[in-house]
Chains A and B, each alone.
Chain A
């Protein structure tokens, strides 16, 4: 781990990201959605979290996936791997950039949709863990993509499952199998936010945060494991 290398990768990726409009325009998607939701006058937690959960997938996971896929597409990853920079440096540099972009987007979405959470600290922890989780999801997705085009296809099921997954719980009364959707990180963060609005107990807070934490640990462990396996050649 070397700070100057991570910084070089961070700056390089920031310039590449900001000049690649095909990818950076995705940042606007949750913001526009939050703005429209605000204008239509919704005021329940479920609706507030749609643009936020969309920001997690269409910005955090998608941008991370694209940044790595583009390195593969342009053959630059091989040059990077031959340089003194390690895979860890490369991923950390990118993840830091994606984390910053996501944090700004999510906060702007919350502001635009007009949501005022009951407890900023507890929700902040959950948002932080979520961004780390979706960054890992994007990194994992990049393992199976070689071009930006493929990345934008891979991201579709992720958006469907994780951003719109919470709506599946509504259908769970008719189809009991869909009760599993309750344990998605995107559903858990909504449950957390709902309990923050009323008087909450310790377990109301701990269960969602622990669930998101477990998702994060699992996704990063499997990502690191698969990268070690696949990147050897």
Chain B
């Protein structure tokens, strides 16, 4: 029987500017939850989560004792947490079996990052929060960490991954959330194959979401989430919250699909979400740009001949 764990975090302001909104999360037990956000929000989240007694926090820059060997370090962590886990088991999990007597200072960055995850396995708390578990790791380490996270799940722990890189969050998570100033959004992540079957059935379903592909996974965005769409060298990129996602549809198809949602083809290779346009910038008499109202300053070009049409839509 799976019960739900609830976490609430209050909003956070600096000098009246909203840094992080109020968050209410329902966590399913024995799952891996990924939260994707920017560095400022992650820093705030780690501080808040660390003070929760149910949560064990593993920081990105937790230090290691350089002069201990791997085996000695495991013994030390076991002593601190009063744990009774077989050293061999941990060494196997993190793939250090034949290197147990190597001093930590001799390890590579990726290996140190693997080692810092040991406390997650042996502490008693039900929720493990890991900041940036995959950042800058080599391929082999990524695989090891991934297996390690799955074994945490087998130990009936809930794992929360925090990262400012969408790829890293998608890699391991069962549920993916995106945290921005409006709050926490759940992303619909589907494995690629089921979607292919759906397509082949050719049923005329009215489907409004925009499919994009990242890391062998297909992510579906609601049209209002999208800031703008760009076509570069034949590849269509959908921009959401400063991150870009390749899309397999063409700009013309997208234009047809998105026009009812208030999107506008402002340039031969751009479609913009008019709801997010803040300012029309006039550079010279013949050159214009649209400034978008998003987390980062985004500027989208506007063709001269499209300006007339835009003015008609806006009503000036």
**Contacts from A to B (Cβ < 8 Å):** 2, 4-5, 7-9, 11-12, 15-16, 19-20, 71, 74-80, 82-85
**Interface contact B79-A76, CB-CB below 8 Å:** no
Instruction: Give the distance in Å from the alpha carbon of A77 to the alpha carbon of B59 in the complex.
Output: 12
CB-CB under 8 A for A82 and B57, given A20-B67, A74-B66, A75-B63:
yes
Residue from B63, B67, B75 within 8 A of A79 (CB atoms): B63
- Interface assignment of B72: CB less than 8 Å from any CB of chain A: yes
Instruction: Give the distance in Å from the alpha carbon of A20 to the alpha carbon of B65 in the complex.
Output: 11
**Interface contact A12-B76, CB-CB below 8 Å:** yes
CB-CB under 8 A for A83 and B81, given A75-B61, A76-B64:
yes
> Size class of B's contact patch?
20 to 34
- As a 0/1 sequence over residues 45 to 60 of chain B, the CB contacts with chain A under 8 angstroms (1 = contact) are 0000010000011010
- Interface assignment of B119: CB less than 8 Å from any CB of chain A: yes
**Interface contact B65-A76, CB-CB below 8 Å:** yes
**Interface contact B67-A16, CB-CB below 8 Å:** yes
Question: What would be 6 A-B contacts, judged by CB atoms less than 8 Å apart?
Answer: A8-B75, A74-B64, A74-B65, A78-B59, A78-B62, A84-B81
Determine the main DSSP class of A at the interface with B: helix
CB-CB under 8 A for A83 and B63, given A5-B82, A12-B68, A12-B72:
no
**Interface contact B119-A15, CB-CB below 8 Å:** no
What 7 A-B pairs have minimum CB-CB distances, sorted nearest first? Answer: A8-B79, A75-B63, A76-B63, A74-B63, A19-B67, A79-B62, A12-B76
CB-CB under 8 A for A15 and B82, given A75-B61, A75-B63, A82-B57:
no
* Closest chain B CB from A68 CB (angstroms): 13
Instruction: Give the distance in Å from the alpha carbon of A77 to the alpha carbon of B80 in the complex.
Output: 13
List 13 additional contacts besides A8-B79, A75-B61; criterion CB under 8 Å.
A5-B79, A5-B80, A11-B75, A11-B79, A12-B72, A12-B76, A16-B65, A76-B63, A76-B64, A76-B65, A79-B62, A82-B59, A84-B81
**Contacts from B to A (Cβ < 8 Å):** 50, 56-57, 59, 61-68, 72, 75-76, 78-82, 103, 119, 123
A74: B residues at CB distance < 8 A: 63-66
Instruction: Give the distance in Å from the alpha carbon of A84 to the alpha carbon of B82 in the complex.
Output: 9
A12: B residues at CB distance < 8 A: 65, 68, 72, 76, 79
**Interface contact B68-A15, CB-CB below 8 Å:** yes
* Closest chain A CB from B100 CB (angstroms): 15
Q: Which residue of A lies closest to B125 (CB)?
A: A84
**Interface contact B72-A15, CB-CB below 8 Å:** yes
**Interface contact B59-A79, CB-CB below 8 Å:** yes
Instruction: Give the distance in Å from the alpha carbon of A152 to the alpha carbon of B312 in the complex.
Output: 74
Instruction: Give the distance in Å from the alpha carbon of A85 to the alpha carbon of B83 in the complex.
Output: 13
B50: A residues at CB distance < 8 A: 82
Residue from A4, A19, A76, A80 within 8 A of B82 (CB atoms): A4
A80: B residues at CB distance < 8 A: 80
B68: A residues at CB distance < 8 A: 12, 15-16
* Closest chain B CB from A4 CB (angstroms): 5
* Closest chain B CB from A112 CB (angstroms): 29
Q: Which residue of A lies closest to B105 (CB)?
A: A19
Instruction: Give the distance in Å from the alpha carbon of A9 to the alpha carbon of B56 in the complex.
Output: 20
B64: A residues at CB distance < 8 A: 74, 76
Select the residue from A9, A20, A78 with max chain B CB neighbours within 10 A.
A78
A76: B residues at CB distance < 8 A: 62-65
**Interface contact A11-B65, CB-CB below 8 Å:** no
Select the residue from A8, A11, A77 with max chain B CB neighbours within 10 A.
A8
* Closest chain A CB from B62 CB (angstroms): 4
Instruction: Give the distance in Å from the alpha carbon of A4 to the alpha carbon of B79 in the complex.
Output: 6
Q: Which residue of A lies closest to B68 (CB)?
A: A15
Instruction: Give the distance in Å from the alpha carbon of A212 to the alpha carbon of B63 in the complex.
Output: 38
Instruction: Give the distance in Å from the alpha carbon of A164 to the alpha carbon of B59 in the complex.
Output: 45
Instruction: Give the distance in Å from the alpha carbon of A74 to the alpha carbon of B63 in the complex.
Output: 5
B67: A residues at CB distance < 8 A: 15-16, 19-20
* Closest chain A CB from B78 CB (angstroms): 8
Instruction: Give the distance in Å from the alpha carbon of A50 to the alpha carbon of B309 in the complex.
Output: 93
**Interface contact A84-B80, CB-CB below 8 Å:** yes
Instruction: Give the distance in Å from the alpha carbon of A75 to the alpha carbon of B50 in the complex.
Output: 16
* Closest chain B CB from A1 CB (angstroms): 13
* Closest chain B CB from A12 CB (angstroms): 4
* Closest chain B CB from A5 CB (angstroms): 6
Instruction: Give the distance in Å from the alpha carbon of A8 to the alpha carbon of B61 in the complex.
Output: 22
Instruction: Give the distance in Å from the alpha carbon of A75 to the alpha carbon of B66 in the complex.
Output: 11
Instruction: Give the distance in Å from the alpha carbon of A138 to the alpha carbon of B39 in the complex.
Output: 37
A16: B residues at CB distance < 8 A: 65, 67-68
A75: B residues at CB distance < 8 A: 61-63
Q: Which residue of B lies closest to A71 (CB)?
A: B63
* Closest chain B CB from A145 CB (angstroms): 16
Instruction: Give the distance in Å from the alpha carbon of A171 to the alpha carbon of B62 in the complex.
Output: 51
B57: A residues at CB distance < 8 A: 82
A2: B residues at CB distance < 8 A: 82
